[in-house]
Amino acid sequence: MKKRLFLLLTTLLGGKHAPGRSVQCLFLIIFILMPMAVSAQSEPPGDIMSRPTFGVHKVLFIRVIYPDDNRVVLSGQRAPIHANNLNDIFKANSYEKLALDIDVTPVLMMPQPTSFYQLENRLSFVRLRADAIKIAEDAGFLESDYDREIIFTVKIWPQPFTGIGGVNLRTSFMTRDNPTLSAHEVGHTFDFNHANFWRVTSANPIDTVGTLIEYGDKFDVMGDVHHFHHYNPRNKFRLGWIPPESILTVSESGTYTIRAVEKPPLAGVTVNEYTALRIRRTPISDYWVFYRSQEDSANTGAMITRIESRNSSSSILLDMAPGSLPEKRDYQDAALVPGKTVRDQEAGIEIEVLERHSDSLIVRVVVPQAGLDTLPVIDIVSPAFGKTIKGGVDYEATAFDPDVGQVNGAGIDTVKFILGYPEGDDPYGEGLSFVILAVKDFSAPPYIFHVETASFPDESYRLIVGALSQNGGINRAIINHLIDNTGPSAETAVAAKPVELVNTLQLQQNYPNPFNPSTTINYSVARAGKVELTIYDLLGKKVRTLVAANNSAGEYAVLWDGRNDADRRVGSGSYYYKLRVGEHTSTKRMLLLK
Ligand SMILES: [Zn+2]
């Protein structure tokens, strides 16, 4: 069992970039599950993210220079164009469900020279981010008013990455004025992982034996960002941009129609026309079949992506015309064309394109009859997203095997916590070492791992939680987060400002917005305590008390039906909703349109 969990760790850390390939980006986020207040019960565990991904997300572009380097990466003239392009990419990919409302700071002087933000030949995300946030706040842009930020800086780290995304699921660092690359990095903050490319080796029928090209799916903005602006449908589904009813999990062999992915998904599929087919391959791995009809010469057939872990957002596009074109142009023949069959003999799966139309494909699928085991489901309950940790921390996770039950610990043999960070020039390349700072096994819940971090270097850390079920299935979840011990010592910090207040609350933009007649407000609290969620009109008059209760730590979703405390419908217009936990508050605005 120990050996298996060790393998789990080495498997996790085994990803690497192809030698000689220039690296665009350091990605720091892998996969995460959180407690879900709203979910589709029938979906296989791990497929849907619980993070709100609809409505308007507030993004801040922080433009920084240094006392020893005053080069400006994003000019004032280019900033609004960059912002518009980035917003357009997200609007198109989300079928207008998500928009980015972007503010741009003036060019701001960092308080320290570039060398201050380098630690032992690495970038200190903690220092760079903390100072950028501080100078932005001094200029009137409050961190709490935004969901995400991109820090535009000259490249002050030694590694070849031109951008860094997803350090704490909200912050990206960009060294270029390139909106598509920004979309890639911001994609990481939505927990999107890199898109890879798989060159198959045999002709027809095509089997899946071949070569993996890391980070090279030219159909996906998480792959080669210079060609295409799309995210793959599986990731869009994870974020809710494609609704569950538009995805078919194929449980019977048969013929199915796929709708072109550029067309908005059908709200409720009453005809046999899906945005993507999901074909379960192993307990953790799926094929996703979709049709991209409008981009370049990719309109020849079915796009087949393989997902290697159900808790992961990594994807691998299968190239279905093996070896016919040089690598640079692989994207032009990646689709499975009519008359061709892909065969995964090991899994007993066949996929064949029967007919291609301008906006739909007809596909024949053969799947095996036997059902598949379900792996343990893991939620990392704490720490909260997007927050920096100071001093001690309680890492908390829940785990259960859905084949046994949904109660914490059901069917679980061992839960293992591993805290550390990757070391080396390329944390995902050859010679990787993972520095483990703390590790602990639990044989029963509660799975709470207390770590004193005061002596740790300021760093972006990775927590890996692995769960081994009693029937031998292994799954894992990962969260990356910042631990910041700069400034006052942990003891002083506790005395001056209780640590638990640092991470107290997070209030998300309501969805939908604008709305009629009802909308959902998501929030999370990091500690148990009294919580108030109140709606006010523009004049500050209280309209409705939605929540006044003691909440335990976790994520919550509350529906507002557009009625006031007297149970009358309120009129069109803007309203504020305010979350209060102790002395901490957060306020956002929403629009009721009738
Ligand atoms: Zn990346």
Question: pLDDT for 470-513, tens place per residue?
Answer: 888 787 777 777 787 765 433 333 332 222 333 467 888 787 77
Give me the residue label for tokens 């483990």.
436
* Residue 16 Cα distances to 13, 23, 399, angstroms: 8, 11, 29
* Same domain, residue pair 468 and 520: no
* Residue 559 Cα distances to 37, 98, 445, 495, 594, angstroms: 11, 19, 31, 38, 18
How far is 367 from 254, CA to CA, in rounded Å? 9
How far is 232 from 456, CA to CA, in rounded Å? 38
Give every strand in the sheet of 505-507, ordered side by side: 505-507, 519-525, 554-560
DSSP 413-431: EEEEEEEEEEESSSTTSTT
Structure confidence at residue 513 (pLDDT): 77
Residue 9 lies in a domain: no
Which run of H or E residues covers position 91?
helix 79-93
- Residue 29 CA to ligand 1 centre (angstroms): 9
* Same domain, residue pair 286 and 227: yes
Omega before 322 within 30 of 0, i.e. cis: no
* Same domain, residue pair 208 and 94: no
HEC assignment per residue over 152-171? ECCCCCCCCCCEEECCCCCE
Which CATH number characterizes residue 167's domain?
3.40.390.10
How far is 46 from 53, CA to CA, in rounded Å? 16
- Residue 475 CA to ligand 1 centre (angstroms): 23
- Residue 212 CA to ligand 1 centre (angstroms): 17
* Same domain, residue pair 579 and 535: yes
How far is 165 from 24, CA to CA, in rounded Å? 11
* Same domain, residue pair 457 and 355: no
Among 438, 466, 497, residue at a domain's last position: 497
- Residue 15 CA to ligand 1 centre (angstroms): 13
- Residue 301 CA to ligand 1 centre (angstroms): 27
Residue 22 lies in a domain: no
How far is 53 from 192, CA to CA, in rounded Å? 13
- Residue 285 CA to ligand 1 centre (angstroms): 22
Structure-model confidence comparison of residues 186 and 371, the more confident one:
186
DSSP letter assigned to residue 283: S
Give me the residue label for tokens 């001056």.
496
Residue 12 lies in a domain: no
- Residue 25 CA to ligand 1 centre (angstroms): 4
- Residue 24 CA to ligand 1 centre (angstroms): 7
**pTM for this one?**
0.69
- Residue 555 CA to ligand 1 centre (angstroms): 27
* Same domain, residue pair 237 and 351: yes
Which CATH number characterizes residue 473's domain?
2.60.40.10
- The number of beta carbons lying within 10 Å of the beta carbon of residue 270 is 8
- Residue 439 CA to ligand 1 centre (angstroms): 28
Tens of pLDDT, residue by residue over 113-159, are 999 998 776 788 888 999 999 999 999 999 999 999 999 999 998 87
Tens of pLDDT, residue by residue over 77-112, are 999 999 999 999 999 999 999 999 999 999 999 999
* Same domain, residue pair 243 and 267: yes
Number of domains in the chain: 4
Q: Do the beta carbons of residue 131 and residue 113 sit within 8 Å?
A: no
Structure confidence at residue 175 (pLDDT): 95
Which CATH number characterizes residue 578's domain?
2.60.40.4070
Q: Do the beta carbons of residue 272 and residue 256 sit within 8 Å?
A: yes
In DSSP terms, which residues pair with 198 in a beta bridge? 212, 318
Among 143, 170, 189, residue at a domain's last position: 189
How far is 500 from 34, CA to CA, in rounded Å? 20
Residue 2 lies in a domain: no
- Residue 185 CA to ligand 1 centre (angstroms): 6
- Residue 218 CA to ligand 1 centre (angstroms): 13
Omega before 35 within 30 of 0, i.e. cis: no
Is the model's pLDDT at 34 over the cut of 60?
no
* Same domain, residue pair 492 and 512: no
**pLDDT grade for 324, boundaries at 50, 70 and 90:** low
How buried is 432 (Cβ within 10 angstroms: 0-12 exposed, 13-18 middle, 19+ buried)?
A: middle
- Residue 31 CA to ligand 1 centre (angstroms): 14
How far is 235 from 193, CA to CA, in rounded Å? 9
Is the model's pLDDT at 21 over the cut of 50?
no
Residue 5 lies in a domain: no
* Same domain, residue pair 405 and 539: no
CA nearest neighbour of 221 among 239, 233, 237: 233
- Residue 171 CA to ligand 1 centre (angstroms): 13
Residue 583 lies in a domain: yes
Among 469, 497, 525, residue at a domain's last position: 497
- Residue 213 CA to ligand 1 centre (angstroms): 15
- Residue 187 CA to ligand 1 centre (angstroms): 8
Residue 41 lies in a domain: no
- Residue 26 CA to ligand 1 centre (angstroms): 5
* Same domain, residue pair 229 and 329: yes
* Same domain, residue pair 302 and 444: no
Q: At what angle do helices 179-189 and 79-93 cross, to 10 degrees?
A: 50
Among 159-173, 358-372, 375-389, which stretch is predicted with the lowest mean pLDDT?
375-389
- Residue 224 CA to ligand 1 centre (angstroms): 10
* Same domain, residue pair 173 and 247: no
Residue 29 lies in a domain: no
For residue 393, give every residue at least 6 positions away whose Cβ sits within 8 Å of its Cβ, in sequence order, or none: 382, 383, 450, 451, 453, 483
Domain range for 412? 377-497
